[in-house]
Structure 1
Amino acid sequence: MFLQRVANRGIGLGTLLERAARRHPANILVFDHDLDAAPQLGRRATVGEAADAVADLASRLWASGIRAGDRVVVYKSDGFDITLLAWSAARIGAVPVLLSPQLDGATVETLMRRTGRPHLVTDGAKLQQELSEEVFDASQSVLLVTGSHPRARTLGSFAGVERVAPLEMPPDHPTLITHTSGTTGVPKLAVHTGRTLQARFRPQAAVTAPLRGRQVVAIHVSFVHSRLVTALAISLLRGYPVVILADGGTAHVADLFAGLKPTVLEAHPNSYLQWEELADDPRRPLSGVRLYSSTFDAIHPRTVQRLLAASERPAPVFGQLYGQSEIGPSVVRSFSRRRRQDADGRCVGVPFPGMTDVRVVSRNGRPPSAENPGYIEVKSDGRIVTYLGEDERYREQVTDGWWRMGDVGYRTKWGCVHLLDREVDLIDGFGSTLAVEDRLFGRVPQLAEVVVVPGADGRAVPVVCTRGDVPLDRAAWEAAVAGLPPMAEPVQWKQADLPQTATTKIKRLELAKLLAVGAGQEA
């Protein structure tokens, strides 16, 4: 049986906080930063106070002239108020379009044109430093959270307006637009409905169902990613206190977690990679963690082992959900301390029974296998309904309801999905670059990042970053590459210089282009 049908009335973004506050009025949200759009919340607020802030912002958006069905681009300096503004727009039936603060102004203006004269909510810093005057012609209106401009209005000017009641839109109406990672070029705009987001809620809620009692949930996820919606919905509707981080720096996180001692963590794989250092902190900031959760990509075995070892719980779990912005979580696997560091990090798990399904399609007529990976395709009710302004491009990735993930791999006889590479990252005759990276991480503790990309001559080039940017230990490296596919000499970069997406994925194609023009230095 596939995709067991259940009642799905949509996730209801605009009233999520209100519903959570009715169930758990004393529950709290903790922030590590101030919120430009809701400074009255400070660094700690009840869910009811946050719900009131959303109702207030929604009323201001309505007073500015935004109406149901209008698109509202939110592009502002990083902070959780991006999420609050999205919920506020959804509350009055408008469709929030969330663009990462990391995007440059030219890309934002391209996406705005694709959106079709939306309203723009931004701030003085972005307007002055990133955006050109053309945004005023590309927008129905421009609203500023902070700062001022003669052609824009401020949200503050609508303070005290009459509150408006929430407007419930049909579950199949667009309720949120997010952008894809942009690892292969200009991001695409993914259109979610209330129904598709609710479908993503179900498998993620199932993963966390075994948790009992009071949990303190810490989340460090991009504020423009759809994953944050479901992560917050699960936590708040269950009454879990939530700590929301904008700053994922290791020292900052160590200080924060040393006092709060969270029991559930949700973060990007590259954040966990950086947080390995927390395992050595004498304050034991990870000692209380029962569940580590990551919903983006496969994670390196070394990272899983170190983080699980840092917990002092009797049986901590690392939950890995393989998915994509367009389809949501599709495959799940959990890891315990029994997992060896040399375990196969490419095994990302199995589908959610009754909710998702996976198949691997041959690329060349031969059965998919470890030596001959095929295209990974997923079927799920959580699939987006289109790419805004690029419906034909969207349709090209769907075959009889199966979504082409853009990854290659195979399935074992037990049904486990093995992810070997992105289609665009394959290097002829090399095998899995991701598997090689896993092995290098396990063999060279000094590594903070390693990415294998094709060089100008087609040969595999390892780009390495070390902890503290110290010179690579060449003896350890030479021992580590023994038995691996042949590679060029390693090129060392500072980790901060690697091109990254909003979810901290490395832009491999861009990195390869930079190498071709001589960026980086031989280690």
Structure 2
Amino acid sequence: MFLQRIGNQGIRLGTLFERAASKHGSNVLILDHDLDIAPGLGRRATVAEVADLIDDFAARLWAAKVRPGQRVVVYKSDGFDITLLACAAVRIGAVPVLLSPKLDGETVAELVRRTDEPFLLTDQAKLENELPSSVFEFADRVLLTSGSHRGATELAALAGSPRVAPVTMPADHPTLITHTSGTTGTPKLAVHTGRTLQARYRPQATVMRPLVPGRETIAMHVSFVHSRLITALAISLFRGFPIVVLRESDPKHVADLFAQLRPGILEAHPNSFMEWEELADDPRRPLANVRLFSSTFDAIHPRTVQRMLGASERRAPVFGQLYGQSEIGPAVVRSFSRRRGQDADGRCVGVPFPGFTEVRVVSRDGKEPSETNPGYIEVRSDGRIVTYLGEQARYDAQVNDGWWRMGDVGYRTKWGCVHLLDREVDLIEGFGSTLAAEDTLFARLEQLAEVVIIPGEDGRAVPVVCTKDDVPLDLAAWKAAAAALPPMADPVQWRIGDLPQTATTKIKRLELARLLASGSTVAG
């Protein structure tokens, strides 16, 4: 980790846009939605204009008595202004706590309570429709980004507040708090510092430079409350890339936008790329100019990778996959090209970043980890969060002599490639890798939009399937595709919109298993 520590002064989120504007002030940021905090800004602004907007709202937060070191929970209707408000809070030395708009109000209230009397930055819609009244007891003060509500302070009323000089906090001081994906219960609050975020930025910037040596338009569809967006923005802003920020993932909406803007880089969640497979058949060729597809958080199905690469008309497009976690950042990296066909091993998630991250696989039973006997995947990186807010013991339980347990199981090949087979909590003993089985089904069944294999009440593997346009599953084709896989129960078909998802569109497998066990009828 020595390379990480040299000269790491922290990412300085509060002045990120301002420093980028000093180099590329006329660079543009394009949105597919209006900002709740600045609807008059429109959907196309320069980086300098966005930097000024952040400065403006930093002044309003200061006028609302937010001070250095204080926490500001941001829980509002979805939009890129979530990220901009985080920058504004950091600009005056405060610590933003970003909560997904998808979280239910009771969960948010509990996280606000755990945050110890923070400022709560929300909106009228969330207060009236989702948040319980207890948030007024748990928060020091409630601030509104839009609308009005009794007992809350409207930031609109603080327009014109005197600008304040940026406050620079120490690199090891908390600078951002995000929540974990919540796939295994109530989300944990992950505490990042300027130094840990910078440690995540460096390996990604290092890998990006040779892949994209020139200037390209980058389109991003990443959760506005995820730390990944911070590093992706930093790389793009300092390289002077025109940036397209998407809130919506609907394929028709995305195709219209990409057909017009022709992005050269595309950053999105794995499930978003799956949803966008149909863009490859659009006669307008909306993906034709993409040079680099970038996916983080999880492994992605080989079928989806090849659909994306096949839709590009660049000479040698690349699909880059980062495997990591909210708590540790990106740990390993892998690239795909057209030469690697759909039968490429989707469980191989890549190799560590040289000089930046290290990975080991620890035995679960004293035997050597292997494909048939996976071990615990552990990572060491300077990008690791410093604690779970209010849950230090829970954090410490995942650290072993500097190694962070990812909660996944897998093995490493003799070439050093990390193979991810399953989440620890999703293991079905005797079945093998559920994720590998899902890859196989995707490769063999074009009609699949999603498939999730979970344990049933009797311990048997149950496949939950979603099809494109919700057409009935072709059972004969299913049986043929599943013939070589371990025995499973009959498939259960659901609408993809009914699957419980996290802020980063991952399927909440434990929640899905609970719903099935309870006899839920939300299935299509």
TM-score of the aligned structures, taking structure 2 as reference length: 0.99
Shift of 1:517: 1.9
Amino acid at match of 2:503: A
* Aligned residue number for residue 172 of structure 2: 172
Deviates more, 1:457-466 or 1:31-40: 31-40
Shift of 1:38: 2.1
CA–CA separation in structure 1 for the residues paired with 2:161 and 2:78: 26
* Aligned residue number for residue 43 of structure 1: 43
* Aligned residue number for residue 496 of structure 1: 497
Instruction: Render the CA deviation track for 1:243-300: whole Å, top value 9, x for unaligned.
Output: 0000011110000000001000000000000000000000000000000001110000
SS of the residue 1:72 aligns to? strand
Give matches, 1:77-476, under 5 Å: 77-210=77-210, 211-476=212-477
CA–CA separation in structure 2 for the residues paired with 1:118 and 1:230: 25
Amino acid at match of 1:160: G
Shift of 1:520: 5.2
Amino acid at match of 2:371: A
SS of the residue 2:171 aligns to? coil
Shift of 1:3: 4.9
Give aligned pairs, total. 523
SS of the residue 1:259 aligns to? helix
CA–CA separation in structure 1 for the residues paired with 2:226 and 2:3: 24
CA–CA separation in structure 2 for the residues paired with 1:221 and 1:256: 16
Alpha-carbon contact 1:3-1:381 (below 8 Å) kept: no
Cα gap change, 1:155/1:344 in structure 2, threshold over 3 Å: closer, same or farther? same
Instruction: Render the CA deviation track for 1:335-376: whole Å, top value 9, x for unaligned.
Output: 000111111100000000000000000000000000000000
SS of the residue 2:18 aligns to? helix
Shift of 1:308: 0.2
CA–CA separation in structure 1 for the residues paired with 2:337 and 2:483: 29
SS of the residue 1:359 aligns to? strand
SS of the residue 2:103 aligns to? coil
Shift of 1:438: 0.1
Amino acid at match of 2:319: F
Alpha-carbon contact 2:14-2:91 (below 8 Å) kept: yes
CA–CA separation in structure 2 for the residues paired with 1:77 and 1:402: 37
CA–CA separation in structure 1 for the residues paired with 2:478 and 2:444: 8
* Aligned residue number for residue 512 of structure 1: 513
Unpaired runs of at least 5, structure 1: none
Instruction: Render the CA deviation track for 1:196-254: whole Å, top value 9, x for unaligned.
Output: 00000011101211112220000000000000000000000110000000001111000
Instruction: Render the CA deviation track for 1:376-413: whole Å, top value 9, x for unaligned.
Output: 00000000000000010000000010000000000000
2:64 aligned with 1:64: yes
CA–CA separation in structure 1 for the residues paired with 2:511 and 2:24: 46
Runs of 4+ in 1 over 6 A off after TM superposition: none
CA–CA separation in structure 2 for the residues paired with 1:228 and 1:214: 19
Amino acid at match of 1:325: S
CA–CA separation in structure 1 for the residues paired with 2:486 and 2:110: 41
Alpha-carbon contact 1:190-1:386 (below 8 Å) kept: yes
SS of the residue 1:61 aligns to? helix
* Aligned residue number for residue 7 of structure 1: 7
Cα gap change, 1:410/1:3 in structure 2, threshold over 3 Å: closer, same or farther? farther
Alpha-carbon contact 2:495-2:523 (below 8 Å) kept: no
Cα gap change, 1:442/1:297 in structure 2, threshold over 3 Å: closer, same or farther? same
Cα gap change, 1:128/1:522 in structure 2, threshold over 3 Å: closer, same or farther? closer
SS of the residue 1:209 aligns to? helix
* Aligned residue number for residue 485 of structure 1: 486
Alpha-carbon contact 2:498-2:522 (below 8 Å) kept: no
CA–CA separation in structure 2 for the residues paired with 1:47 and 1:265: 19
Cα gap change, 1:4/1:79 in structure 2, threshold over 3 Å: closer, same or farther? closer
Amino acid at match of 2:138: A
Alpha-carbon contact 1:2-1:356 (below 8 Å) kept: no
Cα gap change, 1:361/1:212 in structure 2, threshold over 3 Å: closer, same or farther? same
Deviates more, 1:1-10 or 1:188-197: 1-10
Shift of 1:518: 2.1
Shift of 1:521: 8.8
Instruction: Render the CA deviation track for 1:140-188: whole Å, top value 9, x for unaligned.
Output: 1111111111201100111111100000000000000000000010000
TM-score of the aligned structures, taking structure 1 as reference length: 0.99
Amino acid at match of 2:505: T
CA–CA separation in structure 2 for the residues paired with 1:406 and 1:199: 22
CA–CA separation in structure 2 for the residues paired with 1:152 and 1:517: 40
Cα gap change, 1:448/1:310 in structure 2, threshold over 3 Å: closer, same or farther? same
Deviates more, 1:366-375 or 1:206-215: 206-215
Alpha-carbon contact 1:323-1:331 (below 8 Å) kept: yes
Amino acid at match of 1:197: L
Alpha-carbon contact 2:498-2:523 (below 8 Å) kept: no
CA–CA separation in structure 2 for the residues paired with 1:54 and 1:176: 16
CA–CA separation in structure 1 for the residues paired with 2:199 and 2:32: 30
Alpha-carbon contact 2:4-2:199 (below 8 Å) kept: no
SS of the residue 1:86 aligns to? helix
Amino acid at match of 1:64: A
CA–CA separation in structure 2 for the residues paired with 1:157 and 1:318: 46
Q: Percent identity?
A: 73
* Aligned residue number for residue 34 of structure 1: 34
SS of the residue 1:215 aligns to? coil
CA–CA separation in structure 2 for the residues paired with 1:320 and 1:213: 20
Alpha-carbon contact 1:491-1:521 (below 8 Å) kept: no
SS of the residue 1:160 aligns to? coil
Instruction: Render the CA deviation track for 1:25-63: whole Å, top value 9, x for unaligned.
Output: 110100000001122321000000000000000000000
Amino acid at match of 2:359: V
Alpha-carbon contact 1:315-1:336 (below 8 Å) kept: yes
Alpha-carbon contact 1:3-1:380 (below 8 Å) kept: no
CA–CA separation in structure 1 for the residues paired with 2:25 and 2:144: 31
Alpha-carbon contact 2:120-2:143 (below 8 Å) kept: yes
CA–CA separation in structure 2 for the residues paired with 1:521 and 1:404: 35
Alpha-carbon contact 1:326-1:384 (below 8 Å) kept: yes
CA–CA separation in structure 1 for the residues paired with 2:467 and 2:3: 45
Amino acid at match of 1:216: T
CA RMSD of aligned residues (A): 1.1
